[in-house]
Amino acid sequence: MVTIRDVAKAANVSISTVSRVLNYDPSLNVPEATKKRVFETVEKMGYSKKEIKMKNNYSRNRVGIVQWYTNEKELNDPFYHSIRVGVESTLHNNNIEIVRSFKDDEDYFTKLDGLDGLICIGKFSKTEIAEFRKITDKIIFIDMFMEKIYVNTIVMDVQNALKDAIEYLISLGHRRIGFLGGIEFTTDGLRYRDQRKNFFEKYCSSYNIEYLKYIREDQFTSQSGYEMMKSILSLPKLPTAIFCANDPIAFGALSAISEAGLSVPDDISIIGFNNDPTSAYANPPLTTINVPSEKMGEFSAQFLSMFLKQKKIYPMMSMVPCELIIRQSCSKPKQTNNWI
């Protein structure tokens, strides 16, 4: 059986250093290279941390990251993946142990038992929220807008993002604007009402924009964007601009417009949402709304790190600003009878 003395000898450090590294002693002052060497030696020699005799009182908080997507779906979604990256990097820097739970995990809920805190990414049902609150009151939800604040949430400022987008299109002269969005449901089958559509309709109505016949909703994918855009292109009178609820939808819309022999932005202007890494390399480069998704993850982990030290938590909603990124997919509407 490999002992802690064996690990210390192989790593060329003291037994005390090995013990303190493996227990994440916050007062330990050794180079990161030394810590890395200890962990690599432990893995190579097959030493189990469970064999450590806990002769100290070092405690390490354990926090669960609950992703409402499956592992596979998250890999194809830059927005939710970057949120989790932000969460994990900050928790790691704070020496907090991470327990990941994806929607398709067989032990989705059971692996969360006994955790000190939870960070829940996405949209969850009231039943799920109630179950999470039974585990701990140290919870933060990311990207889930709630009209009544009874848990901690971090959301994006969708209202001002949509206001900026619509006012920008109006400043270019657009008066017929379409909306391509996605439909999402919580696990109890209730539809989650997208704030992007809410505020799109609000500002189009307030500025007397023609939009009702140009609204389409399906999935947040490029394929759906393509199909929804084809549906709009079949209309006798086309919109001069399209707002897309995320960048993948916008990419699909760009393909449908090009396939129809039309041009972006000469014939139809396009605005996306999220500012995915590939949006700057679309053809043409996509005007979009930047959402600081990784920062949302970082902020949530920072807040939770503070909550873990408090006895009582008062719920709050934090809102991060979004920024309109102007590129080449928008211009003044075409001055012909077919569009104006």
Are the C-beta atoms of 122 and 69 separated by less than 8 Å? yes
Query: Is 57 within a domain?
Result: no
Query: Is 84 within a domain?
Result: yes
Q: What is the pLDDT of residue 19?
A: 81
Instruction: Check whether 192 has a pLDDT greater than 70.
Output: yes
Query: Is 43 within a domain?
Result: yes
Query: Is 118 within a domain?
Result: yes
Q: List, in sequence order, the alpha helices (H) in 121-172.
A: 126-135, 158-172
Q: Let me know whether 152 and 165 are in one domain.
A: no
**Residue range 72-92, pLDDT digits in tens:** 888 888 899 999 999 999 998
Using omega within 30 degrees of 0 as the cis cutoff, is the peptide bond preceding 236 cis?
Answer: no
Higher-confidence position of 8 and 280: 280
Higher-confidence position of 258 and 39: 258
Instruction: Give the CATH number, domain containing residue 113.
Output: 3.40.50.2300
> Confidence class of residue 51 from pLDDT cuts 50, 70 and 90?
very low
Report the 3 state secondary structure along 212-250: HHHEEEECCCHHHHHHHHHHHHCCCCCCCEEEECCHHHH
Q: Let me know whether 189 and 286 are in one domain.
A: yes
Q: Let me know whether 187 and 214 are in one domain.
A: yes
Query: Is 226 within a domain?
Result: yes
Instruction: Give the CATH number, domain containing residue 31.
Output: 1.10.260.40
Query: Is 336 within a domain?
Result: no
> Confidence class of residue 155 from pLDDT cuts 50, 70 and 90?
very high
Which residues have CB under 8 Å from 288's CB, separation 6+?
247, 250, 271, 272, 273, 274, 275, 276, 279, 324, 325, 327
Q: Let me know whether 165 and 47 are in one domain.
A: no
- Residue 100 β-bridge partners: 65
What's the distance, Cα to Cα, between the start and end of the chain in Å? 81
Burial (CB count within 10 angstroms: exposed 0-12, middle 13-18, buried 19+), residue 100 = middle
- Cα angle value 221/192/181 (rounded, 5°): 35
Q: How many domains does the chain have?
A: 3
Q: Let me know whether 20 and 90 are in one domain.
A: no
Domain residues for the domain of 32 are 4-51
**Residue range 234-265, pLDDT digits in tens:** 999 999 999 999 999 999 999 999 999 999 99
- Percent of the chain scored above 70 by pLDDT? 94
Q: Let me know whether 139 and 182 are in one domain.
A: no
Alpha carbon of residue 187 to chain centroid? 18
Instruction: Check whether 55 has a pLDDT greater than 50.
Output: no
For residue 264 the two structure tokens come to 């972006």
* Mean pLDDT for the chain overall: 90
Residue 322: how many CB atoms within 10 A of its CB? 23
Q: Let me know whether 133 and 227 are in one domain.
A: no
Are the C-beta atoms of 275 and 197 separated by less than 8 Å? no
Query: Is 327 within a domain?
Result: no
Q: Let me know whether 220 and 140 are in one domain.
A: no
Helix (H, G, I), strand (E, B) or coil at 139: strand
Query: Is 92 within a domain?
Result: yes
Prediction pTM value: 0.79
CA distance 142 to 317: 10
Q: Let me know whether 120 and 148 are in one domain.
A: yes
Q: Let me know whether 296 and 286 are in one domain.
A: no
For residue 283 the two structure tokens come to 């053809």
**Residue range 139-148, pLDDT digits in tens:** 999 999 988 8
Amino acid identity of residue 109, one-letter, is F
Rg, C-alpha atoms of the chain = 25
- Cα angle value 66/197/290 (rounded, 5°): 65
- Residue 320 β-bridge partners: 156
Helix (H, G, I), strand (E, B) or coil at 130: helix
Rounded alpha-carbon distances, angstroms, from residue 131 to 127, 136, 137, 139, 142: 6, 9, 11, 11, 17
Q: Let me know whether 190 and 202 are in one domain.
A: yes
Are the C-beta atoms of 240 and 175 separated by less than 8 Å? yes
Q: Let me know whether 163 and 283 are in one domain.
A: yes
